Chains A and B, each alone.
Chain A
Amino acid sequence: MALFVPHYALAKRLGRTELRSEAATVGALLDEIRALVPPEEWRASLRAAILVNGRHIHYLQGMKTPLAADDEVWMVFPSSGG
């Protein structure tokens, strides 16, 4: 089962800092998560980057990126500083 780590605000909404999923793709996993939160709160998450094992899904297969057991999927927002 893949591990999903939501961004901070989503984690607070879900009441969990990580979830396990048997979804076969990133798209399917996000569909599962979307069903758990109100649509207006999900909208804010659409600007987050989706990373699978540290790699942005844009450079993988997008929403069709397949997930294997032990894969880690993170949702994070842009950041900067130093």
Chain B
Amino acid sequence: MKSLTATYLEVDLTSGGSSARPVPSEVVELYLGGRGLGARLLFDSTPPGLDPFDERMPIIFSVGPLTGSAAPQSNRFVVTTKSPATGAIADSHCGGSFATKLKKAGFDGVIVRGRSPRPVYLEIKDGKAELKDAAHLWGKGTVATQAALPASFGKAVIGPAGENRVPFACIVSQNRIAGRTGTGAVMGSKNLKAIIADGSAATFERDEAFKELQKEVTEFLRSHPMTGQILPTLGTANLVMTCAGRNIIPTRNFQKGHDRRTPELAGERMRDELLIRKDGCLSCPVKCGRHIRLGKGEGKGPEFETIGLLGNNLGIFDMQTVAELGELCDDLGMDTISMGGVLGFATELTERGLLNSELAWGRVEAYHEAIEATARRSGLGAELAEGTRALAKRRGGEEFAIQVKGLELPAYDPRGCFGQGLEYATNNRGGCHVRGSTMFLEATGPVSIDPHSTAGKPELVVFQQDMNAAVSSLVFCYFASYAVLPAFAFKLEASSAAYRLAMAAASRATGPALWLAMRMKNPAQLLWFEKFLSAAWGRRVGLGEFMRAGARIYNLERLYNLREGMSGSADTLPRRLLDEPTFPGAKAGVPLADMLRRYYRVRGWDSEGVPTPATLRRLAIRS
């Protein structure tokens, strides 16, 4: 077995000092890398109750055991800290090339503490760290900032929103975004404008067996309908028509599940009318990014989430306008999901006379100004910049403030996918869709586990969350997991007996099958994730060990949140999503309570949502 020790660079911005910190093999073996290792390091290195903007709060950048290996979809990094938006653990993931550059610079991660007395950026080159003056970059957008830094380096930068500690400020790398949970604000609180990395260290030793596996998985992903056709052809905007048909795309602050004009935002239209080229991360065969024609020339095609929250949710049905609002958020350094959620909520507040503003559905100019003002905390923006939860506390409307644990919800209305509702309610980082993507198995994928039933959903959500925790600790792109469903499922004709059988089996057997699977040791290697991890570690890792690592990581994050004062009472949804139906004949929204009780039992938590001592022992978690 190879040495699994991970080496982090520790930097103290207050003193300006730095040193290498080895993370022992036994910790890496339990927490894999990326998200898992970041959670362990955060838990161990902070006292309870530390404010996200306290200078002792670390912000941790982690890569994974496969970074630099050129394994498909492995070129990502994770940022871990405490979220200023939620008060819970923050982890945000990003593609691009920064992860490999950091590895080439000689590190598996960077831990930054302290606060610089003046704006700086951190340059990491061939094992050495240097803080450099960033006065000339302060106040600049993420595009200009990256352009002003040396071209050969991988970069992770913030914009004005991060500098101004907007709790949903993001970190940008090329045109990829670590968007959620406000990690950019923590970076800004430290007067750290950017981290750049480059070097010539060997990143990964690839033997013939590894190259064969890499080729096999790349070909598999290229041939799979989801990762080889749908995502490459349409990008994530492929979801627009499906979510509209399913009645789950946010519309006017989640007052409805679609609009008659939603099809104007279809990914197919972007492809046919605006697409210039596809775009993607290093070593990714999918290339889900879009580069499109814009009024001013060309730019980034919006992701589905941006379309959902900054477009459909606000009554804007012109793709180029949505793209421009998305680019504005990227440049200012703000998460498009949270920004769209805040604007939707503020617009409804205005409609109801609870807020005095110019915001109105479809009024592009007002939204444009509000986004600028939010990043700079000026005028109305000073209120919007505190996020939906704080705005509701100040102005009212808590029942239609669409957030969970302080994080605005993404573009899947859970009233049409109950499991996704349970996932939102229980996710450690709050209202997020990529902790398990249960909606893929309920509503958007080829086989639909009855989205309006609660049966089997707790088991499904736990399985998906644990799988995601493990995959995003490698650090692989979670989109790869959409290829786990066999290709034949995409070819079934909806009226065929085989399709009906698959639907019935999925709805009835998923719960018991997953309950059983999660209790088995399962030494088999069923997915490519365990195979790649085995190659990195030089010993065999089975699916059971891989999934247990995911469960361990998930439970550790839960322990962090509990330690920081977040109890089980935070595992809920906004009243609108619980009480107000959007489907004809329905009397309410998501029936959360029954699913939640069962979810706690499946997780091995007590009735208050606290992991039991037996669960901690089973997962070898030291708390």
A: residues with CB less than 8 A from B are 5, 7-9, 11, 17-18, 46-51, 53-56, 58-59, 62-63, 74-82
Hey, what's the 0/1 contact readout for B253-265 against A, CB within 8 Å counting as 1? 0000110100100
Is B528 an interface residue when CB atoms closer than 8 A count as contact? no
Q: Which of B445, B450, B494, B503 contacts A50 (CB 8 A)?
A: B494
**CB pair A48 B494 closer than 8 Å:** yes
A54-B257, A81-B236 known; A5 vs B444 contact (CB < 8 Å): no
Q: In the complex, what distance in Å separates the CA atom of A11 from the CA atom of B446?
A: 21
Tell whether, in the assembled complex, residue A81 and residue B248 are in contact, meaning their CB atoms are under 8 Å apart. Answer: no
A72 to chain B, nearest CB (A): 8
Contact of A79 among B239, B450, B478 (CB under 8 A): B239
A51: contacting residue among B238, B245, B584, CB under 8 A? B245
Interface on B for A, CB 8 Å cutoff?
Answer: 225-226, 230-231, 234-239, 241-248, 257-258, 260, 263, 266, 268-269, 288, 303-305, 410, 416, 433-434, 437, 440, 444-446, 448, 450-452, 478-479, 482, 490-495, 499-500, 503, 582-584
Closest to A59 in B: B450
For the complex, what is the distance from the CA of A18 to the CA of B182, rounded to whole Å? Answer: 41
Contacts A17-B263, A74-B245, A80-B445 known; 6 new A-B pairs at CB < 8 A: A8-B268, A54-B246, A58-B448, A74-B244, A79-B445, A82-B304
Name B's interface SS.
helix
Chain B positions within 8 Å of A79 at CB level: 230, 234, 238-239, 241-243, 444-445
| Shortest distance from the beta carbon of A2 to any chain B beta carbon, whole Å | 12
Asked if A80 contacts B444 (CB within 8 A), the reply is yes
User: What's the Cα separation between A78 and B242 when bound, in Å?
Assistant: 7
The chain B residue sitting closest to A56, CB to CB, is B448
A10, B617: Cα distance in complex, Å = 56
Asked if residues B245 and A76 are in contact (CB atoms below 8 Å), the reply is yes
A81 contacts B263, CB within 8 Å? Answer: no
Chain A residue with minimal CB distance to B500? Answer: A58
Q: Which of A46, A51, A54, A78 gathers the greatest number of chain B CB atoms within 10 Å?
A: A54
Q: Given the interface contacts A5-B245, A77-B242, A82-B304, does A63 sit within 8 Å of B495 by beta carbon?
A: yes
Decide if B245 touches A82 in the complex (CB within 8 Å).
no
Q: Is the CB of A80 within 8 A of B452?
A: no
CB-CB under 8 A from B244, the residues of chain A are 5, 74, 76
A47-B492, A74-B245, A76-B245 are contacts. A82–B231 as well, Cβ < 8 Å? no
B247 in contact with A54 (CB, 8 Å): yes
A79 to B245, alpha carbons, bound, how many Å?
12
Closest B residue to A11 by beta carbon equals B263
Cα–Cα distance between A20 and B15 once the two chains are bound (Å): 70
29 A-B pairs with C-beta separation under 8 A: A5-B245, A5-B263, A17-B263, A46-B493, A46-B495, A47-B493, A49-B242, A49-B448, A51-B247, A53-B247, A54-B245, A54-B247, A54-B257, A55-B583, A56-B448, A56-B451, A56-B503, A58-B448, A59-B450, A76-B244, A77-B230, A77-B242, A78-B226, A78-B445, A79-B241, A79-B243, A80-B231, A80-B437, A82-B478
